[in-house]
Amino acid sequence: MIVEAAEQFVTRLGLAQTASWGELHEAVESVYGKPIYLVASNSSSLRAVTGLWIDTAEFGAVVCRERDDLHTQSQNACHELAHILFARAPEDWFSDLLPRPQTADHGAPGTTRFCASTTGADTIESQIEEAIEEVAFAMTRRIQSINRTAEETYFG
């Protein structure tokens, strides 16, 4: 059920079933209300962190590890874009399956927010992170469907 809810969430971006990375990027920027710069970094400070969203007053930056393969970078960038959507999307995009973080107050410009630590899979923080990951997977499916072979389309 959460997979279908995530697909519905991504549908609200107005993307075709087979969207390009650029179309996804523009759609999230539209919800965000400012440019999003995508950065691949080889910084040693990104050892354990695979992706990072930095919010400023003028723009947002999504930073992924340059050493990761392109598929992993794409998935990590989609995960960070999903965090942006969970902070900025209209209230009616959310449901019990895709709960909005209670602290989605649009944050203070210039801050970087990390998800709260969680003590178990049944916490609201874990449920939100799972929902964000499902939305990221739904976005990835949209942008990767353009290049699928017939076998990949049939078998998933």
pLDDT in tens, 24-37: 999 999 999 999 99
CB 46 within 8 A of CB 76: no
146 pLDDT band, cuts 50/70/90, is low
Contact of 84 with 36, CB cutoff 8 Å: yes
pTM of this prediction? Answer: 0.83
Position 111 confidence tier, pLDDT thresholds 50, 70, 90: very low
Q: Which helix (H) or strand (E) holds 76?
A: helix 70-88
The continuous run of DSSP H or E covering 106 comes out as none
As given in the structure block, the two tokens for residue 4 are: 């279908």
> CA 23, 25, 31: angle at the middle one, nearest 5?
105
Show the CA angle centred on residue 82, arms to residues 80 and 87, nearest 5°: 100
Lowest mean pLDDT among 1-10, 42-51, 82-91: 42-51
